[in-house]
A and B are shown apart, each in its own frame.
Chain A
Amino acid sequence: MKFFSAFITLFLPWLVLSGKYDASYIGMGVLCSAMVAWWCKDLLFPGENISIGTCVRQGIRFIPYACWLFWQIVLSNIHVLKVALSPRMHDLISPKMVRFNTDVTEEISKFVLANSITLTPGTVTVRVEGRRFLVHALTEKAASGLPGESDEMERRIMNVFEKKS
Chain B
Amino acid sequence: MEYVAYILIVVGLLFFLGTSIGLLRFPDFYTRMHAAGKGDTLSTVLILAGCIFAVASEGNMSWLLGLKILLIINFVFIGSPTATHAMMDVGERAGAKPWKKKGGSQ
Contacts and interface: CB of A to CB of B under 8 A. Distances in A.
Interface of A: 13, 16-17, 19, 70, 73-74, 77, 80-81, 83-85, 89-90, 93-97, 114-115, 118-119, 121-122, 124-127, 134, 136, 138
Q: 3 closest Cβ contacts across the A-B interface?
A: A84-B22, A118-B81, A81-B18
Contacts of B99: 95
Given A84-B35, A115-B81, A126 B25 contact: no
Secondary structure class of chain B's binding surface, majority of residues: helix
Given A74-B42, A96-B106, A121 B18 contact: no
Contact of B35 (A80, A114, A118, A126): A80
27 contacts: A16-B64, A74-B42, A80-B38, A81-B15, A81-B19, A81-B22, A83-B22, A84-B18, A84-B19, A89-B26, A93-B31, A94-B101, A95-B98, A96-B98, A96-B106, A114-B85, A115-B81, A118-B37, A119-B41, A119-B80, A124-B33, A126-B88, A126-B89, A126-B92, A134-B92, A136-B34, A138-B34
A138 B26 CA distance: 10
Contacts, number: 108
Given A114-B85, A122-B34, A124-B85, 7 more contacts: A17-B68, A89-B26, A95-B98, A95-B99, A95-B100, A121-B38, A124-B88
B67 interface: yes
A16 B66 CA distance: 10
Nearest to A142: B34
A93 B39 CA distance: 16
Residue from B19, B30, B82 with most neighbouring chain A CB atoms (10 Å)? B30
B29 to A, nearest CB: 10
A19 B28 contact: no
Contacts of A90: 27, 101
B57 interface: no
A150 to B, nearest CB: 20
A121 B71 contact: no
A73 B42 contact: yes
Contact of A95 (B22, B30, B45, B80): B30
Given A84-B22, A93-B26, A124 B37 contact: yes
Interface string B32-72: 01110111011001000000000000000100100110010
Nearest to A116: B81
Given A80-B35, A80-B39, A138-B31, A126 B100 contact: no
A80 B78 CA distance: 21
